[in-house]
């Protein structure tokens, strides 16, 4: 394979014996073998004597997965004559790069550097649909949060929380990729062609890596912008709920104030009638006419009318 030129070996879930054999054949450093075996989660670019070791994280594309955006590590070893890729779980990025090579083999010179670029570019492009979905969801929430009726807002807080959780997951996966690409571009002389002069194809790969870095920076800027919009929508939603609760409390206080005013009128009347309901001498009870009764009833009625007018003047009721 080495005599024929550039080749690529994609290895899925290697065993310890396989890693030891590959380490002897390709002279891989023990620290690199340990990082691959332990599935090192930190994204990085390390330059060794005869190869460059790159760790890049993708995500589980299965929408029914228990943990959404579960990181999947892709470990890439770039040699002068070949590329080795390691991943512990199946992913479609190697297959996509192979299809791309078949389509472009008449127009490009396939080198280990270009294969590495293709893998990084395919992983980066896989985040674009998720970011578009986040953009649509954030715009929808921002428009609906202030116009939905109270009966239709039951799941709005859940939608905002789920959207922000997805954005934080994307930021966690993307935030270190731009630094890795920046390091790869700066150390291009060391990792592209160790001990040899750079060819035109390698310089083109450096330009391609810069394009991938631009895509990553654009995605990060978009996610930060959507996070600010989502935070504003969250604050607007909570403020609207607070306003609605204040309005409800004001309505309840208005009803209670009217009931209190009614009680202020009824209690003195009840006191008077209660006193005369005892076994006491009632004025005019020895007379046959209703003059005393009319006088007492008129007094109570006058007090009721006076109390109502007074409360209306002070706008109590």
- CATH homologous superfamily for the domain 7-245: CorA soluble domain-like (3.30.460.20)
Question: Where do the structural domains in the chain lie, given as residue ranges?
Answer: 7-245, 282-317
Query: pTM (2 decimals)?
Result: 0.74
Structure confidence at residue 198 (pLDDT): 44
pLDDT of 193: 47
- Predicted confidence pLDDT, tens digits, the chain (317 residues): 767 778 999 999 999 999 999 999 999 999 999 999 888 778 888 888 888 899 999 887 765 555 667 888 899 999 988 999 999 888 899 999 999 999 988 888 888 888 999 999 999 999 999 999 899 999 888 888 877 766 566 678 888 888 888 898 888 889 888 888 888 887 664 444 444 444 444 556 778 888 898 999 999 999 999 999 988 888 888 888 888 888 889 989 888 888 888 888 888 888 877 877 777 777 777 777 788 888 888 888 888 888 888 888 877 77
Asked whether the beta carbons of 112 and 83 are under 8 A apart, the reply is: yes
DSSP state of 290: S
CA atoms of 141 and 155, how far apart (whole Å): 11
pLDDT (0 to 100) of residue 63: 59
Closest to 51 (Cα-Cα) out of 76, 30, 33: 76
Q: DSSP of 102-118, one letter per residue?
A: HHHTTTS---HHHHHHH
Predicted local confidence at residue 146, as pLDDT: 75
Cα dihedral 12, 80, 123, 30, rounded to 10, equals 50
Q: What is the DSSP string of 3-68?
A: TT--EEEEEES--HHHHHHHHHHHT--HHHHHHHHTT--S-EEEE-SS-EEEEEEEE---TT-SST
Contacts 24+ apart (CB under 8 A), 120-124: 120/54, 120/56, 120/181, 120/209, 120/212, 121/208, 121/212, 122/93, 122/96, 122/97, 123/56, 123/57, 123/58, 123/74, 123/93, 124/177, 124/212, 124/215, 124/216, 124/219
């Amino acid at each position: 394979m080495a005599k024929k030129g550039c080749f690529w070996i994609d290895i899925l879930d290697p065993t310890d014996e396989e890693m030891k054999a590959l380490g002897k054949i390709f002279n891989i450093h023990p620290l690199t073998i340990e990082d691959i075996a332990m599935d090192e989660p930190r994204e990085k670019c390390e330059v060794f004597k005869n190869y460059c070791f790159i760790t890049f994280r993708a995500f589980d594309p299965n929408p029914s997965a228990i943990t959404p955006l579960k990181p999947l590590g892709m470990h890439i070893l770039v040699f002068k004559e070949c590329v080795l890729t390691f991943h512990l779980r199946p992913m479609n990025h190697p297959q996509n790069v192979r299809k791309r090579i078949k389509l472009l083999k008449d127009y490009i010179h396939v080198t280990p550097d270009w294969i590495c670029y293709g893998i990084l570019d395919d992983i980066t492009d896989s985040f674009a649909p998720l970011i578009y979905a986040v953009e649509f969801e954030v715009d929808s929430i921002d428009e609906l949060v202030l116009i939905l009726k109270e009966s239709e807002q039951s799941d709005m807080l859940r939608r905002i929380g789920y959207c922000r959780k997805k954005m934080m997951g994307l930021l966690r996966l993307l935030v270190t990729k731009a630094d890795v690409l920046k390091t790869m571009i700066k150390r291009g002389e060391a990792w592209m062609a160790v001990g040899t002069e750079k060819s035109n194809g390698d310089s083109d790969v450096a330009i391609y890596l810069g394009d991938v870095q631009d895509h990553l920076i654009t995605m990060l800027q978009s996610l930060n912008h959507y996070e600010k919009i989502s935070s504003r929508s969250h604050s607007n939603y909570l403020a609207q709920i607070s306003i609605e609760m204040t309005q409800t409390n004001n309505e309840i206080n208005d009803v209670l104030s009217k009931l209190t005013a009614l009680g202020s009128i009824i209690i003195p009347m009840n006191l008077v009638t209660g006193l005369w309901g005892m076994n006491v001498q009632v004025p005019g009870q020895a007379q046959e006419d209703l003059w005393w009764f009319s006088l007492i009833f008129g007094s109570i009625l006058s007090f009721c009318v006076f109390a109502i007018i007074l409360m209306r003047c002070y706008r109590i009721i």
